[in-house]
């Protein structure tokens, strides 16, 4: 009896093509994975013009590896990322603005890192009692805002509506209650012209909050030279650890005490610690490196999933359970590091 072959129906062919396409066509996602902690107590921080003290142990910045915006991500890559528990798959739009290239992402990350290092130095020196003269300088003007052609690059911001402002955070706080369309009076110092007063109508963001349309940077005249350099790392999340590293090198107290300590968190010039992204991946990377104490911003405690598992999993190299310790300020972080090894440290359970 002759045997006839079975042909796929058009519907089955169409479904199979769709399934294949889902695995090979580009997918609008990025993958986060743990990076290796980088110890900053070696050559990453160099200080000249004042006495520097020796350090012991490791104080590390943690990082997250993120696929760049130009990467060709397929459905298979996304599926693999979901299966691997050490990775996270999130929509591309949550990490990169529409149309941003890999080169632009690197430039933005480098700018954020530079700002973080300045903030960290300012916060550390303020904690230690040093006075550093500072000014707020305009470093970018949004061409689509009402500030364009009113405010210029390198203008020094003196006040808004007669209120003298000493930091970027004070500028942001002042604008919180303002509405789009309101006029503000901005006093600046412009090279060659001296003090000028400009009337600027506030523009609107997508969430209807008001903004001037300028990017500003605090510039400091520090009493001695502090340089922070870390290769292949961008973004603002190293601020807390950089500040701790500067304090550690400028005091004989020895905060680290031969321990393996790591952490993350942005920092303001007045020492406030802010939340970051990729906290779970940073914790996983720290555990693999044998970190004993991991400092996390208190605002990230709500983001830490499977808290019980993370709090009881042993670090890969030390074989000890890593303490995940929340902090809100640089002063608090230093106070916690000064505690004896057998002390009871706070945990994220109080914030979740």
State the average pLDDT over residues 89-118.
Answer: 67
**CATH code assigned to 133-221:** 2.30.42.10
pLDDT at 334: 98
Torsion angle of the four alpha carbons 146, 159, 235, 213, in this order, in degrees rounded to the nearest 10: 0
Which of residues 88 and 258 earns the better pLDDT score? 258
pLDDT at 15: 46
* Number of Cβ atoms within 10 Å of the Cβ of 33: 17
Give burial (CB, 10 Å; 0-12/13-18/19+) of 330: buried
Tokens of 18: 């769709």
Binned at pLDDT 50, 70 and 90, residue 312 comes out as low
Tell me: pLDDT of 3 over 80.
Answer: no
State the average pLDDT over residues 224-252.
Answer: 90
Tell me: pLDDT of 256 over 90.
Answer: yes
Tell me: pLDDT of 168 over 60.
Answer: yes
Tell me: pLDDT of 300 over 90.
Answer: yes
pLDDT at 71: 64
Annotation: CATH topology of 34-68+109-129+224-351: Ribosomal Protein S5; domain 2 (3.30.230)
Residue 38 makes CB contacts below 8 A (sequence gap 6+) with: 44, 60, 61, 63, 230, 233
Which range, 41-45, 109-113, 229-233, is most confident? 41-45
pLDDT at 69: 63
State the average pLDDT over residues 104-110.
Answer: 61
Residue 275 makes CB contacts below 8 A (sequence gap 6+) with: 265, 266, 297, 299, 300, 303
Least confident of 14-28, 145-159, 194-208: 14-28
Measured over the CA atoms of residue 137, residue 143, residue 147 and residue 152, the dihedral's sign is positive
Nearest alpha-carbon partner for 122 in 294, 114, 51: 114
Which of residues 190 and 309 earns the better pLDDT score? 190
Helices (H), ranges, the chain: 10-24, 75-83, 102-127, 168-175, 239-250, 279-288, 307-312, 330-337
The pLDDT tens digits of the residues spanning 265-285 come to 999 999 999 999 889 889 999
DSSP 106-153: HHHHHHHHHHHHHHHHHHHHHHTT---EEEEEEEEE-TTSTTBTTB-T
* Number of Cβ atoms within 10 Å of the Cβ of 76: 12
**pTM of the predicted model, to two decimals?**
0.77
The pLDDT tens digits of the residues spanning 142-164 come to 999 999 999 999 999 999 999 99
The CA-CA-CA angle for residues 100, 272, 292, to 5°, reads 90
Tell me: pLDDT of 2 over 50.
Answer: no
Tell me: pLDDT of 23 over 70.
Answer: no
pLDDT at 335: 97
Q: What is the spatial distance between Cα 41 and Cα 236, in angstroms, rounded to a whole number?
A: 18
The two beta strands, 163-164 and 133-141, are unpaired
Tell me: pLDDT of 38 over 90.
Answer: yes
Give the residue extent of every domain in the chain: 34-68+109-129+224-351, 133-221
Binned at pLDDT 50, 70 and 90, residue 49 comes out as very high
Cα 171–chain centre separation: 20
* H and E: helices and strands count for the chain: 8, 20
Strand partners, 204: 210
């Amino acid at each position: 009896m002759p045997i006839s072959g079975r042909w796929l129906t058009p519907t089955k062919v169409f479904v199979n093509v769709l399934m294949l396409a889902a695995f090979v066509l580009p997918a609008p996602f990025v993958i986060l994975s743990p990076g290796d902690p980088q110890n900053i107590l070696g050559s990453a921080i160099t200080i000249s013009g004042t006495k520097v003290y020796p350090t012991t142990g490791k104080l590390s910045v943690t990082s997250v590896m993120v696929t760049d915006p130009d990467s060709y991500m397929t459905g298979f890559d996304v599926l693999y990322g979901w299966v691997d528990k050490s990775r996270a798959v999130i929509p591309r739009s949550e990490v990169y603005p529409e149309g941003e290239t890999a080169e632009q992402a690197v430039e933005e990350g480098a700018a954020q890192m530079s700002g973080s290092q300045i903030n960290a130095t300012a916060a550390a020196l303020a904690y230690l009692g040093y006075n550093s003269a500072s000014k707020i300088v305009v470093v970018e003007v949004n061409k689509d805002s009402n500030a364009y052609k009113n405010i210029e690059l390198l203008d020094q911001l003196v006040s808004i509506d007669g209120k003298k402002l000493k930091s970027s955070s004070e500028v942001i706080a002042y604008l919180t209650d303002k509405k789009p369309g309101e006029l503000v009076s901005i006093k600046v110092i412009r090279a060659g012209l001296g003090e000028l007063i400009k009337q600027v109508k506030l523009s609107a963001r997508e969430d209807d909050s008001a903004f001037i349309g300028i990017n500003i940077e605090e510039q400091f005249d520090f009493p001695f030279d502090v340089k922070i350099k870390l290769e292949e790392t961008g973004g603002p999340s190293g601020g807390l650890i950089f500040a701790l590293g500067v304090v550690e090198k400028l005091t004989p107290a020895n905060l680290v005490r031969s321990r393996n300590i790591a952490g993350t968190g942005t920092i303001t010039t007045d020492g406030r610690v802010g939340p970051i992204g990729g906290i779970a991946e940073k914790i996983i990377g720290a555990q693999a490196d044998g970190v004993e104490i991991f400092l996390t911003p208190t605002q990230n405690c709500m983001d830490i999933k499977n808290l019980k598992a993370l709090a009881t999993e042993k670090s890969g190299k030390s074989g000890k359970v890593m303490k995940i310790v929340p902090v809100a300020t640089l002063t608090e972080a230093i106070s916690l590091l000064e505690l004896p090894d057998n002390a009871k440290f706070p945990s994220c359970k109080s914030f979740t």
